[in-house]
Amino acid sequence: MLAKRIIPCLDIKDGRTVKGVNFVDLRDAGDPVELGAIYSQKGADELVFLDITATHEKRKTLSALARQIAAHLNIPFTIGGGIGSVADAEILLESGADKVSINSAAVRNPALIEDLAKRFGSQFVVVAIDARQVADEWIVHVSGGRKATDKKLFSWAKECADRGAGEILFTSMDNDGTKAGFANAATAHLSDTLPIPIIASGGAGTMEHFYDVFTEGKADAGLAASIFHFKEIEIVDLKRYLKDKGVAVRV
C-alpha cells in the first residue's frame, strides 16, 4: 500500500505566505522559504507553493523563489502560479522545482497539459482544479477562484488525466479555510474514476478530517495550510495519529 502524503500548502502573495477563508480575507502567515524549511524538517512529505495572484495580475511566478526554496528543502516541492507555457515550466524545473502546478492556463489551453507531459513526463505535471458547488454541480473556477467557467469538475478532471496530468489537486472552494472537513464525496468520486493520484485540499481543521479524507475520500494526499502555518496541528502528531488509526504514512 502506498503511503498517504501530508502536504502543507503555502499560498504566496507579494512574496509572503497568506491564508484566507473561501479564497478571500487573506492574512499574513510568514516567509514562504522559512516556513518551507521548517515543514521539511518536521516531516512533511511534499510542499506546494502557489503564487495565488500570478495569473490574475498577469505575472510569472519568480524562478528566484524556486531557487531559494530548493536551497532550503530536502523534500519534493511543487510550484505554481502564472505558468502558461512549456518555457515557463522549464525555468522552474531548472530552478529546482520537482513539479509544476497549472490551473487557469490549463483551462484556457488544455493542450498545455499534453505539451508539458510530453516534454517532462506526467509525473512533473499537477493540474490544480478549484471548484465550488453551484446548483448541485461542481463548477470549475479560475484566476484564483475569481471567475467561473463552463467546465464541470469530474469531466474536466478526466480530460486532464487523459491529456497526461500526473496528479489532480482538487480544492473545494466551499470548504476552503472553513476547517469543517474536506469535500470527501467529490474527492472519492475523483479517486474512483481516475487512474492518477488525487490530492485533496480545502477544509482541514482536525486530525480526524485527514483520516476521513484518506478513508471516505480515498485521497492519495491531504493538503492544508492554516492549521500548519499557525501550529494548530503538528505534522509529527498528525502522522502518529493516522498511523495509530491504521493509515499508511511515512514516519
pLDDT, tens only, 131-185: 999 998 999 999 877 899 999 999 999 999 999 999 999 999 999 888 999 999 9
pTM attached to this predicted model: 0.92
Residue 56: pLDDT above 60? no
Query: Quick one: how far is CA 116 from the chain centroid?
Result: 18
Nearest Cα to 103, choosing from 32, 49, 163, 55? 55
Give, in order, the Cα–Cα distances in Å from 194 to each of 30, 86, 149, 177, 197.
35, 25, 22, 26, 8
Residue 11: pLDDT above 90? no
Q: What is the amino acid identity at position 92? A: L
Grid cell digits, residue 206: 482536525
Burial of 64 (0-12, 13-18, 19+ CB in 10 A): exposed
Specify the pLDDT at position 105: 94
Grid cell digits, residue 183: 469535500
pLDDT digits (tens, 9 = 90+) for 90-108: 989 999 999 999 999 999 9
Query: Within 13 Å and on the Cβ side, how many CA atoms surround 120?
Result: 25
Whether the Cβ atoms of residue 225 and residue 10 lie closer than 8 Å to each other: yes
| SS3 label, residue 38 | helix
Residue 54: pLDDT above 60? no
Q: Give the containing element (helix H, strand E) for 220.
A: none
Mean pLDDT for 11-25 is 62
Give, in order, the Cα–Cα distances in Å from 33 to each of 11, 36, 121, 203.
12, 5, 27, 24
| 5-244 topology per CATH | TIM Barrel (3.20.20)
Radius of gyration of the chain (CA): 16
- Locate the domains of the chain by residue range: 5-244
DSSP, residue by residue, 58-90: T-PPPHHHHHHHHHH-SS-EEEESS--SHHHHH
Confidence of residue 68 (pLDDT cuts 50, 70, 90): confident
Neighbours of 160 (CB within 10 A): 25
Specify the pLDDT at position 58: 46
Q: Known catalytic residues?
A: 11, 130
* Helices 184-193 and 207-215, packing angle to 10 deg: 30
Specify the pLDDT at position 52: 67
The residue whose grid cell reads 461542481 is: 138
Residue 27: pLDDT above 70? no
Nearest Cα to 81, choosing from 94, 71, 91, 68? 91
